[in-house]
Amino acid sequence: MEPQIYTLETNLHEWLTRLVDSGYRVTAKIRAIVETILSSERALDAVAIFDIVRHEYPGLGLVTVYRTLQKLEELGLVEHLHQANGCSMVLRAARGHEHFLVCSRCGRVVYFSGDNLNMLTDQIARQTGFVIQSHWLQLFGLCAACSAA
């Protein structure tokens, strides 16, 4: 079976379809919010998304951004990236055994695949008695551009 190739267009179609199927009304503003998230190389907070989209849609309300993010999270399409300063940002949810790296300086996000955590999770399960059902891995560091600067 060939791996699924994800492009902006296929992701956009999938997300908009899932929103419509869940009963959410998709407007041009909602589409622009989704496109902004999908096309960003960085995790974004609601205000950043609002600022980007309102250039094209001056009538956009911040409440619309928050409601859309809430719905996207309910559908499992976005994840929260929790910062040390308490700021919550969103990014496209990882798929399958995909995880991500986040640049601590510029916020760039790079996704990578791998599930070589089995030995670690098995060891933790034995030590704690937990039956581990899932995991969520966020790695932080400096991207090549920031570490060179």
Q: Are 127 and 84 in contact (CB under 8 A)?
A: no
Q: 98-143 architecture in CATH?
A: 2-Layer Sandwich (3.30)
Bridge partner residues of 95 (DSSP): none
Beta pairing class for 109-113 and 138-141: unpaired
Q: What share of the chain is helix, strand, coil (3-state, %, to 5)?
A: 45, 20, 40
Question: Would you state the pLDDT for residue 19?
Answer: 96
Beta pairing class for 138-141 and 98-103: parallel
pLDDT tens, 63-83?
999 999 999 999 999 988 876
d(CA 92, CA 94): 6
**Which tokens hold the place of 73?**
């999270």
Chain-centre distance for alpha carbon 146: 21
Q: Does domain 8-92 have CATH number 1.10.760.10?
A: no
**Which tokens hold the place of 85?**
């300063």
**Which tokens hold the place of 40?**
């960003």
The tens place of each residue's pLDDT in the chain, 149 residues long, gives 444 556 778 889 999 999 999 999 999 999 999 999 999 989 899 999 999 999 999 999 999 999 999 999 999 999 888 766 666 788 888 777 777 888 888 888 888 877 677 788 889 999 999 998 877 777 888 999 999 98
pTM: 0.80
Q: Domains of the chain: which residue ranges?
A: 8-92, 98-143
Q: In degrees rounded to 5, what are phi and psi of residue 66?
A: -60, -45
Question: Would you state the pLDDT for residue 86?
Answer: 64
Q: In degrees rounded to 5, what are phi and psi of residue 23?
A: 95, 5
Q: Are 4 and 85 in contact (CB under 8 A)?
A: no
Question: Would you state the pLDDT for residue 1?
Answer: 40
